[in-house]
A and B are shown apart, each in its own frame.
Chain A
Amino acid sequence: MPDSPALEISGLVKRYGGRAVVDGLDLVAHHGQVTAVLGPNGAGKTTTIECCEGLREPDGGSVRVLGQDPLTHARDLRPRVGVMLQDGGLPTGVKAHEMLEHVARMYADPRDLGELTERLGLASFARTTVRRLSGGQRQRLALAAAIVGRPDVVFLDEPSAGMDPQTRHAVWDLVRELRDEGVAVVLTTHLMDEAEDLADHVVVVDHGRVIAEGSVPSLVSSADDRTLRLETTPGLALHDALGTGFDVTEPRDGSYTVTGAVDPDAVAAVTAWLAAQGALATRLTVGRRTLEDVFLDLTGRNLR
């Protein structure tokens, strides 16, 4: 059934102590795609993933992984679903290679451990006890354990947390390879570049609901998809330089973001207006909105 989705969540609700952490969430993920679940801390990403892994029982709605209920069909799903938990879940008293070999024994036809070890650069710490591994090393080992059984679906909860840039890119290459093999990859992240580089489909979650979704290009582009950023004297009524149809914000003192139909005339109007005010633009860039802009617009800029 190549056309049926690998994961289908509809109206998922999960409450902790009466408070809904996931509140009517819908999500579909397909084979051969990387689906990134993006959201601030506490948005309900991990809880959602844990409901998919059969680790938590939903209070409402339904979850179907490969067409089956993760709780009632756990036995059928376990061999086909790979899991990387946010907190690792690695036993601390064993050596890294023993851990991986142990998980591999649970499958009839596991991946070649030598090849996996090389791909993820595990060899340098294979004989080190898990307790003494760095955060990034643990993440790599946990990823290896998640995919050693040749899963059809993998859930990766913040896979590149604690990794250095080189390791992160090695992990991304591996994730792309899994996708090209037809695996459905569902990952949570709050790294914008991770979602931007890797995801075929981005789902933005906040307060337990999906607030936006689509491909990265479809999320960042709209009719007014250009931004002008400039740094100059704080507190200017920059909006006066432009007509209607532009949105001006000053997220930091002296740092302005203009969104709208930023064309050559608009840039000329802004610089001419600044000259008239006697203000010097120390920095001026024009570009597309980034995923981070979209994300912050959607979820707000306040710390929580």
Chain B
Amino acid sequence: MSTAAPASQRVLAQTAFEARAILRNGEQLLVTIIVPVLVLVGLSRVTAIDLDTGGASRIDFLTPGILALAVMTSSFTSQAIASSFDRRNGVLRLLSTTPLGRGGLLAGKVLGVLVVELVQVLVIGAVALVLGWSPDPAGIALAVVAIVLGTAAFTALALLVAGTLRAEAVLALANLLLLVLAVAGGVVIPAEQLPGPMAHIALLLPSGALGEAMRETLMHGVLPAWSVVVLVGWTAALGWGASRLFRWH
């Protein structure tokens, strides 16, 4: 009788498959690694763009936000696009009929994103260190917690759009939403520096919460409770929506 490979082996195989698919795809590599690095180098070098760093060095102020942006590109933009095309092409259905199953597929996707994020953090962190970044050592472990929370919220959002909209619509929406959140969502520029009502709204967005959490951990060594509440809340709401509304066909 035919038997399944152990669950750990199945999920690891899917994790490697997902991570390789992203890291080998030129467009995905551009969005997840090259663009964040260019933004980091650009904003830290071009002093013509005025930044209120609150007394911190430009690179110390910018790097946490760029890391938050990078997390959004891999856990949201790239995941939403890949999953929507996989859904359209029947890949999700086919894999769900193998011993991997739907649960294993989801686990593999989330772990695959974490692998990509590890690569992102290493590359962006290395570039930032060369540019003089000195993160608060006490905050590094907390920043990892923030990344995991942010990944959960944005992966849930990615699966919600990928499971409900047409692939072409997801392609447009995922890129547009990334751009809007990056500029007006409190990611690189702190929410309190945004104009008008956005200063308050951004704090409630997962992007603002993640940006805030990354800055507070890596600049001051503390994880703000409010950010944790916002990210957990979004994860619960979006995860609930995705699990109810996701269409496999």
Q: A53 within 8 Å of B by Cβ?
A: yes
Check A78–B94 contact: CB distance below 8 A.
Answer: no
Check A106–B99 contact: CB distance below 8 A.
Answer: yes
- A107-B3, A152-B1 known; A53 and B97 CB under 8 Å? yes
The residue in chain B whose Cβ has the minimal distance to the Cβ of A89 is: B94
A254 to B89, CA, bound (A): 46
Check B4–A74 contact: CB distance below 8 A.
Answer: no
The residue in chain B whose Cβ has the minimal distance to the Cβ of A151 is: B2
The residue in chain A whose Cβ has the minimal distance to the Cβ of B90 is: A89
Check A80–B1 contact: CB distance below 8 A.
Answer: yes
Task: Convert A131-156 into 0s and 1s, putting 1 for each residue whose CB lies closer than 8 angstroms to a CB of B.
Answer: 00000000000100100011110000
Which A residues are CB-close (under 8 A) to B6?
108
Check B2–A109 contact: CB distance below 8 A.
Answer: yes
Q: A87 within 8 Å of B by Cβ?
A: yes
Which B residues are CB-close (under 8 A) to A103?
98
A171 to B248, CA, bound (A): 29
The residue in chain A whose Cβ has the minimal distance to the Cβ of B5 is: A108
Check B93–A79 contact: CB distance below 8 A.
Answer: no
Q: B86 within 8 Å of A by Cβ?
A: yes
A75 to B104, CA, bound (A): 11
Partner of B100, one of A89, A106, A108: A106
Partner of B94, one of A74, A80, A83, A152: A83
Task: Convert A40-82 into 0s and 1s, putting 1 for each residue whose CB lies closer than 8 angstroms to a CB of B.
Answer: 0000000000000111100000000000000000110011110
Which A residues are CB-close (under 8 A) to B24?
93
A86 to B33, CA, bound (A): 36
The residue in chain B whose Cβ has the minimal distance to the Cβ of A66 is: B1
Tally of chain A residues near chain B (CB < 8 A): 33
| Chain B proximity of A300: nearest CB distance (Å) | 29
Check B2–A85 contact: CB distance below 8 A.
Answer: no
| Chain A proximity of B7: nearest CB distance (Å) | 10
A81 to B86, CA, bound (A): 21
Q: A169 within 8 Å of B by Cβ?
A: no
- A83-B97, A85-B90, A149-B99 known; A91 and B21 CB under 8 Å? yes
Check B89–A88 contact: CB distance below 8 A.
Answer: yes
Which B residues are CB-close (under 8 A) to A81?
97
Partner of A108, one of B4, B96, B98: B4
| Chain B proximity of A179: nearest CB distance (Å) | 16
A83 to B6, CA, bound (A): 20
Partner of A90, one of B9, B89, B99, B101: B89
| Chain B proximity of A7: nearest CB distance (Å) | 15
* Smallest CB-CB A-B distances: 10 pairs: A89-B94, A89-B90, A79-B4, A105-B13, A83-B97, A108-B3, A150-B2, A87-B90, A106-B98, A106-B99
Question: What are 5 A-B residue pairs whose CB atoms fall within 8 Å in the complex?
Answer: A55-B96, A78-B97, A78-B98, A93-B25, A107-B99
List the interface of chain A (C-beta within 8 A of B).
Answer: 53-56, 74-75, 78-81, 83, 85, 87-94, 102-103, 105-109, 142, 145, 149-152
List the interface of chain B (C-beta within 8 A of A).
Answer: 1-6, 9-10, 13, 17, 20-21, 24-25, 85-86, 89-101, 248-249
